[in-house]
A and B are shown apart, each in its own frame.
Chain A
């Protein structure tokens, strides 16, 4: 049987940058085919070609063994190729049915409205998707919005379903249920493509896996015949295995929280008396299932939310509970936020400015009257080199053009330039590939070894186990258990899901 979708020798350049250099890929009906690779390996670009969004410079696209030209996403749609993008393409003020209708086009409006609603309902029931179809999608959770996207593609009649890093924004449980759904779809004859960089997803849910590196397909193997080590080697082209490196000498307490309470934007109280102490030269890992107050804990420490109760103290500076972000930075508190595009970088401004802003706030690049831009550029140039931020073709290019890993390296370069005393890292490797993750982890260890108190908040238990010298489990807005290193993984896991 001919593959449902086959891409042969696809090349694609953007403004001189070669994103794809003769990549091959194929997926057959009834299989889940994982597409694996680092950030910037070309996974998303290749799938955007398949979805008709990018026109390839060279190469052939075959659907059911026949050569096709995709004039655009609509043409791809017509051939049964549908893609769920990383950033959802939904109109937030419309409900699910309206959004799906928008993607169908054609027929008369009133007839379309009825038939689409029916089709959506049928499909949603078949997949066990419990979503409120009448609610504006902007009010739905991220996982629900993703389900709307999947429904949109399936109702459109897709036989090839492409999911671009679908689990990167989901909690573990949501991801699990999504991947089950994908397996079920494959079982009923859909050709499913799973773009990812998570190895365990590949091992547990894919039939075959194609590894990409540098815009080329490196290998296609059966998922059952491979292991993490092999895959990692294929992805990065070398063996890269992180090993734990515990703290050498732990100093006195630096950051102390006592009974801190805070609320989410909508008034819901999500921190209910967090107490903890982080010492100089240690990494304190906060583990926990997502949504138990981690975001608010991070925002509290960054100084961008109001503390309702309790105190935050920094040794030597005293009570900083209500200190504004500027004062905190002056005291040596830096943060690597989870959402680097909303808290870490100003995407439309240049790499140099995004790097330099920390120094300008601290008064390093000139006084109030003038910012010394030349000095700032020089410092940025040095930092970009030192932290191996790649993809910087010019210091004046907008920061939004950096890939996830490199954007994170730029944030870290800025935050670590001044030898911080307290480092807050919130899901610092979310969405990053193996190599970038290792670099981020290295930076955190280095900060710790220079004597900083590092607070690592992560929903990825592997990351916590790898880095933390002490582990606190967060549940319902407080620290419910603490484990000294080496912590027992099972005990931590139980504390995460157990209720007190």
Chain B
């Protein structure tokens, strides 16, 4: 237990700040404190935006009114949210076993490449085309994470470096394909041919939404069960908290770690499928930038909880969409949007301190 004492006046009445370690934190307290951190971050972000010339009323309009009253904006948020959510889930499951998967973007790219391979070559009957594409994408993502996963488990190679660098390998391979053999013959633009109708995720009939959002939500539910309810999830908690102890107490640590890593890669690959088949209807190059890192952000803010990742992904999607219109209509630089994201992450991270400690002001008479 550590404790520090704050300002104290030697004479007369004095006060000091007392830090105490909380012995037991209820779920409600945890939730409220995290929410407090989030609100504090939003407040700071709002102040910065106001200082850079966006009126408070405009902020309210952009972030609240237009998002929740215009079906078009809400649709844009929901479309944006599905790949973000899947990327967040991919990060959460890997982080749970302390595998710092920075390579989500690369795994998404390989998921997209794998499903485009199926689509381009019209593999299998049309009725099974979409499921085949999804499965291929998952395997593509798994294949791309298998290399750093193997290196880490067998040789202890730091996965932060290997997954990060494999992003660039994947990105360059993607460019090689798009500027080479997979270039669209009709337009000569560096993206693949448009997928056939059977290779695109069908619309669900509300706004502009496709099956992408339901797929992301189901993935979140399944992962929640896997991580919070199943035996694997229980074991993964121990793998996270104390690997040495886990092994000694009989938890199959290698198997648990490997499973989590492969599930992470498969989810990222599925994210690539959702983007290609559900949003862009083809394999493109530009939209991958940022999903992987936003996924890490979402997992962090949601404390690796797949259900919490749903509102967090929506929140990040709002930032994406509103940030775009701020850039267009108020000449706010793109960096400002990232700054806001960073501020919110930091303040939520800081709320962890208040979850673990209680701060009390003590008056003392002399």
Contacts and interface: CB of A to CB of B under 8 A. Distances in A.
Interface of A: 14-17, 53-55, 69, 71-72, 302-304, 324-326, 328-330, 335, 337, 342-349, 353, 357-358, 360-362, 366-371, 393-394, 396-397, 401
Interface string B348-365: 000000000010000000
Given A69-B10, A371-B234, A17 B248 contact: no
7 contacts: A71-B5, A326-B252, A343-B244, A358-B249, A367-B231, A369-B231, A371-B234
Given A69-B10, A357-B234, 9 more contacts: A54-B1, A302-B248, A324-B250, A326-B252, A348-B241, A357-B251, A360-B235, A361-B251, A371-B234
Contacts of B1: 14, 54
B6 to A, nearest CB: 9
Contacts of B248: 302-304, 325, 335, 337, 343
A89 B144 CA distance: 42
Interface in B1-33: 1-5, 8, 10, 16, 18, 20-24
Contact of B230 (A348, A368, A394): A368
B238 interface: yes
B237 interface: yes
Nearest to B251: A361
B242 A347 contact: yes
Contacts of B232: 368
B31 to A, nearest CB: 15
Contacts of A326: 250-252
Contacts of A358: 249-250
Nearest to A19: B1
Given A15-B358, A349-B237, A368-B232, A304 B18 contact: no
A14 to B, nearest CB: 6
A345 B242 CA distance: 8
Q: Chain A CB within 10 Å — which of B4, B235, B250 has the most?
A: B250
A35 to B, nearest CB: 18
Contacts of A353: 234, 237-238
B229 interface: yes
A55 B3 contact: yes
A330 B232 CA distance: 18
Given A55-B5, A349-B237, A394-B24, A342 B16 contact: no
Interface of B: 1-5, 8, 10, 16, 18, 20-24, 229-235, 237-238, 241-242, 244-252, 358
Contacts of B247: 304, 325
Nearest to A13: B20
Nearest to A52: B5
Contacts of A15: 20-23, 358
Contacts of A72: 4-5
A314 B223 CA distance: 40
B16 A55 contact: yes
A343 B249 CA distance: 8
The interface residues of chain A, by DSSP majority, are classed as loop
Given A326-B251, A328-B250, A344-B245, A360 B234 contact: yes
A491 B244 CA distance: 37
A153 B154 CA distance: 44
A393 to B, nearest CB: 6
Given A15-B358, A360-B234, A371 B229 contact: yes
A16 B24 CA distance: 12
Contacts of A17: 23
Contact of A393 (B3, B4, B24, B250): B24
A342 B244 CA distance: 6
3 tightest CB-CB pairs across the interface, nearest first?
A346-B241, A346-B242, A326-B250
Contacts of B16: 55
A360 B256 CA distance: 14
Q: Chain A CB within 10 Å — which of B230, B242, B244 has the most?
A: B242
A302 to B, nearest CB: 5
A371 B8 CA distance: 51
B229 A361 contact: no
Contacts of B23: 14-17, 393-394, 397, 401
Contact of A324 (B18, B235, B252): B252
Contacts of B10: 69
Contact of A361 (B22, B244, B250, B358): B250
B311 to A, nearest CB: 24
